[in-house]
Amino acid sequence: MMVIGASSAYFHATLSLVGQLLDEVAILWVLLAGYALWTPEWMIQYTGIFKSRTGFKLAAVVVAVVATLLGFVYPAANAIALMMLGVPCVPILWKEIQRCKSTKVVKLAYIGILWWFVAVMLWLSDRLLCDIWKYFSFPYFHCGWHVFILLGSNIGCVLGCYFYSHSEHKELKTELSFWPTSFGTWGLPYIAVRKKPLQKQT
């Protein structure tokens, strides 16, 4: 996420092709890393293509390398391709919400979905109606896109960690927390992972 932020800042400061490619390649690799690390094991097995997460990770790396090379060949298509690459996050998250018993986690997921939706609407408005907003001297929708996609992506990463730890590591106690605690659910979400206490045998 920090690499994306630095690359995006460089791109918007210079508006150069190199900056654009750095920005988009960083997003591509982070997205695919998220899929490789946090896609539920049962979903990987359900595809019938991969026998383990290791094979799934290797496939993600291959896709990332090929997509990176294609991005250099035709950079104009990168933005749309990245948007489409993010689409599978929605059904994965929806399935995990249905399986989740923690109301706090489900609430955070809905907040994340809201931020993603707002971000995409701002991006589409900026891309499709740019001339109109320039006419009214209001070229700020792209800035809003960056703010809301950051909020949504941060929540997405936290939820990915939570669902992975909760599903794949039953021996651990996984809890969603917020910092500072006085802000409640408006604070910065993070995952606390602890070993479950050993049950005494009678």
pLDDT value of residue 19: 87
In a domain, 64, yes or no: yes
In a domain, 16, yes or no: yes
In a domain, 48, yes or no: yes
pLDDT value of residue 198: 66
pLDDT value of residue 171: 86
Report the alpha-carbon distance of residue 33 to residue 3 in Å, rounded. Answer: 13
Residue 56 lies in domain: 1-87
Report the alpha-carbon distance of residue 141 to residue 130 in Å, rounded. Answer: 9
DSSP string, 56-93: HHHHHHHHHHHHHHHHHH-GGGHHHHHHHHHTTHHHHH
The SS3 of residue 174 is: strand
Count helices and strands in the chain by DSSP H and E runs = 9, 2
Number of domains making up the chain: 1
- The binding site for Zn(2+) comprises 12, 142, 146
Report the alpha-carbon distance of residue 176 to residue 104 in Å, rounded. Answer: 8
In a domain, 31, yes or no: yes
In a domain, 183, yes or no: no
Residue 190: DSSP 8-state:
E
In a domain, 22, yes or no: yes
Q: What is the mean pLDDT of each run of 10 residues along the chain (202 residues)?
A: 84 87 90 92 84 90 93 87 88 91 93 93 89 84 88 93 90 90 85 79 54
* Residues written for the chain: 202
103 CB neighbour count, 10 Å cutoff:
8
In a domain, 165, yes or no: no
In a domain, 172, yes or no: no
Put residue 172 in one of left, alpha, beta given phi > 0 → left and psi -120 to 50 → alpha. beta
Report the alpha-carbon distance of residue 149 to residue 115 in Å, rounded. Answer: 7
- The binding site comprises 12, 142, 146
